[in-house]
Structure 1
Amino acid sequence: MSGHVAVLGAGSWGTAFAKILADAGREVAIWARRRPVAEEIRHRGRNPEYLPDLRLPERVTATADAAEAISGAEVVVLAVPSQTLRGNLAEWAGHLEPDATLVSLMKGIELGTTKRMSEVIVETAKVAADRVVVVSGPNLAPEIAAGQPAATVVACTDVGRATLVQRSVTTPYFRPYTNDDVIGCELGGAVKNVIALSYGIATAMGFGDNTRAMLITRGLAETARLGVALGADPLTFAGLAGMGDLVGTCSSPLSRNRTFGEHLGRGETLEQAQVATRQTAEGVKSCLAIRDLARAHGVEMPITEQVERVCHEGVDPRLAVRALMSRTTKPE
């Protein structure tokens, strides 16, 4: 593929993904919302806000003008917070090339509409679903930026387009696998953030490995239940976009969602946790939308329900644990 790649969003994962693309031989233009960040990337090859120790390859440039980044790009990577996607993309859509491939790095469900990110992209940019590629998996940005071996899933209903993106992000340290199950990959990426909140809560409450293994396993079970109800392939949840991402996000201290959960598990309020972490974890917002999605499809998601109660209803985590453990017993 000729032409450059635009990465819209200069957070940790957008910045690391730009490095991957450049290391795979692509010319990359990052759009940063704040002009000083764009100038620092362009002139010094560093992102002062995220991954400040990472020296970006010379193939990476940056701008604070989204239209400039998008112009002529064959591939446009969307790496903004999931709840801001619709508003941002509405402004950017008019600048997209006619057959540009849109790549979603976002892991969330939109509040209010309960739409997956690829659905928001199709609706807002008015593009066919087979032009949207989803990247999901255990993608902790600092480790990938350091060149540690990692793998991911590149999902698209058009396998040919997924393969083109796969080639664009294959490096000695980053191994992408293609998949045509967009629904499963997106749900795995969104729900794991909620389960990681529960894992962080349990960790801070002093619970051990049995409890944490239970949360990962039963968390995966409720993710797969919702996925199957929405038409996903259950096998997807046994792969990188399911179990892989869930284990990575739950077990790593680099995970924002796990860390945020630990603050809640220590008895802090949502507001205190936000101040302490200087950001809202994706799962805090998405748990509302995922709960609504589950209810709309008659799917039981008890861990998600309790995380939502702790985050948004002020329920004491100890009471949430009691509610989880006192549910009616049933076959696995």
Structure 2
Amino acid sequence: MTTTTAAVLGAGSWGTAFAKVLADAGADVTIWARREQVAAAIREYGTNPDYLPAVRLPERVTATSDAGKAIAGADLVVLAVPSQTLRGNLANWAAFLEPDATLVSLMKGIELGTTKRMSEVVVETAGVPADRVAVVSGPNLAAEIAAEQPAATVVACIDMARATVVQRAVTTSYFRPYTNEDVLGCELGGAVKNVIALAYGIATAMRLGDNTKATLITRGLAETARLGVALGADPLTFAGLAGLGDLVATCSSPLSRNRTFGEHLGRGETLEEAQAATRQTAEGVKSCLAIRDLARTHNVDMPITEQVEKVCHEGVDPRKALIALMSRETKAE
């Protein structure tokens, strides 16, 4: 049996943790890091000093700041950069891709301006057919997985044979992947849950109770599913790992960037102050604009997303946003 060769493009928390999963499952992995000092630290010390510094990476993991070197010969090319930077980065990387390499998206966002999902950006920018793109989504907090705490995920691809190849490449004693054909639903669940987690963080900072939080998760899931069905997703996807599972983990965990960012907003900080305090990408902050636009285009009502966008980008006080949500016209569930 031949060894899988993988490139992980992006040396953030999730990219680093996913590289560890791949190596633990038997792959040879090269991480591409934007900064050479990060790549050098991974090569020399087996740790990523900026993200997950306490985690020892397997010997099968190496790193480089040369994307061409990382991609050359890779069967799996894992994309783990901030979603709004994907198009620009991939345009530079596409020429290095092997003819039948599988592109695996770890990104959870909707592109600003185009309202495209990440797999759509990959297809368009890399010039590859959609059946070569797989998406990984689920309750996957990087620090917990790097610590080998048991977790499950979804590998979605319209080509089930390819989804199964990726599934095998990331199956370990602590990481259990399931396959799914609903790429659209999995990606949408992953993107919208970040926005709902911002709302959950705001509610947490306002010291609101479990009734409020349960309401946000449940109604957040309802608006995610409404948009998904309007776009052609399988509604059952939203009851699974890439829907409810990811939403619960991202809302409830203090490890969640989006929830943490929301807490800063809920304490009355501006977007800039929250950004300075967290120093990490909270995908929901930008994606809420694109998701709102997508919902309006398809005439889908997404009240939580609308209010999060207003808090983030229009300076609306979170308390006023809450009043606006609660004073909406009553209706059947």
Does the TM-score normalized on the shorter chain lie above 0.5?
Answer: yes
Contact persistence 2:3–2:26 (CA under 8 A): no
Between the aligned partners of 1:191 and 1:274, the Cα distance in structure 2 is: 20
Q: Secondary structure at the match of 1:327?
A: coil
Q: After superposition, where does 1:178-197 map in structure 2 within 5 Å?
A: 178-197=179-198
Question: What does 1:15-164 align with in structure 2 at a 5 Å threshold?
Answer: 15-164=16-165
* Residue of structure 1 in register with 2:177 after alignment: 176
Is the counterpart of residue 229 in structure 1 residue 236 in structure 2?
Answer: no
How many percent identity over aligned positions? 82
> Normalising by the residue count of structure 1, what TM-score does the alignment of the two structures yield?
0.99
Partner of 1:272: 273
SS in 2 for 1:153: strand
After the TM superposition, which segments of 4 or more aligned residues of structure 1 sit over 3 Å from their partners? none
Contact 2:109 2:284 in 1 (8 A): yes
Residue 2 of structure 1 and its aligned partner are, at CA, apart by 3.7
The amino acid that maps onto 2:197 is: A
Give a deviation string over 1:110-134, Cα, whole Å, max 9, x none: 0000000000000000000000000
Do structure 1's residue 213 and structure 2's residue 198 form an aligned pair? no
Code of the aligned partner of 1:94? A
Counterpart of 1:229, as a letter, is A
Post-superposition offset of 1:278:
1.5
Q: Structure 2: how far apart are the matches of 1:85 and 1:145?
A: 24
CA distance in 2, matches of 1:263, 1:43: 36
Name structure 2 gaps, 5 residues minimum: none
Q: Deviations over 1:173-224 (max 9, x none)?
A: 0000000000000000000000000000001011000000000000000000
Pairwise CA distance, 1:170: 0.2
Q: Root-mean-square deviation (CA), in Å? A: 0.6
Question: Alignment partner of 1:299: what SS?
Answer: coil
Aligned equivalents of 2:322 and 2:80: distance in 1?
Answer: 34
Is residue 290 of structure 1 aligned with residue 288 of structure 2? no
In the alignment, the residues of structure 2 paired with residue 5 and residue 276 of structure 1 have an alpha-carbon distance, to the nearest angstrom, of 34
- For residue 280 of structure 1, report the CA deviation from its aligned partner: 3.9
What do residues 267-320 of structure 1 show as CA deviations (whole Å, max 9, x unaligned)? 111111111111341100000000000000000000000000000000000100
Q: How many matched pairs?
A: 332
Query: Does structure 2 retain, via aligned residues, the 8 Å contact 1:3–1:72?
Result: no
